[in-house]
Amino acid sequence: MANLGAQWEASKNTFKPYPCGIVMHAVIDACFALRAHYHLTAAQIAAVRVRGDALLLARGDRLVRNAREARVSIQHGVAAPFLWGKAGVDEFAEARVMSDAAVAFRTLVRVELDASLPMGAATVIVRTHAGDTYEATVVQARGSLAHPLSDAELEAKVSAAASESMPAHDIEHSLAMLWQLQHLTTIQPLMALVAGHDAVAVPEARGWSSVQSRCCHPVGFPSSMIVLGARDTQRCRWQGVPSLFRAVYWTLPHAFLTAHLFT
Confidence of residue 256 (pLDDT cuts 50, 70, 90): very low
Confidence of residue 211 (pLDDT cuts 50, 70, 90): very low
Integer distance in angstroms from the first to the last C-alpha of the chain?
A: 34
| pLDDT 10s digits, 32-88 | 999 999 999 999 999 999 999 999 999 999 999 999 999 999 999 999 999 999 999
pLDDT above 90: residue 128: yes
Sheet with 122-128, edge to edge strand ranges: 109-113, 45-52, 122-128, 133-138
pTM: 0.73
| pLDDT 10s digits, 130-187 | 999 999 999 999 999 899 998 899 898 888 888 888 888 888 998 999 888 888 888 8
CATH of 22-138 among 1.10.357.20, 3.40.50.410, 3.30.1330.120, 3.40.1190.10: 3.30.1330.120
Q: For the chain, give every domain's residue range.
A: 22-138, 151-261
pLDDT above 80: residue 198: no
3-state secondary structure of 119: coil
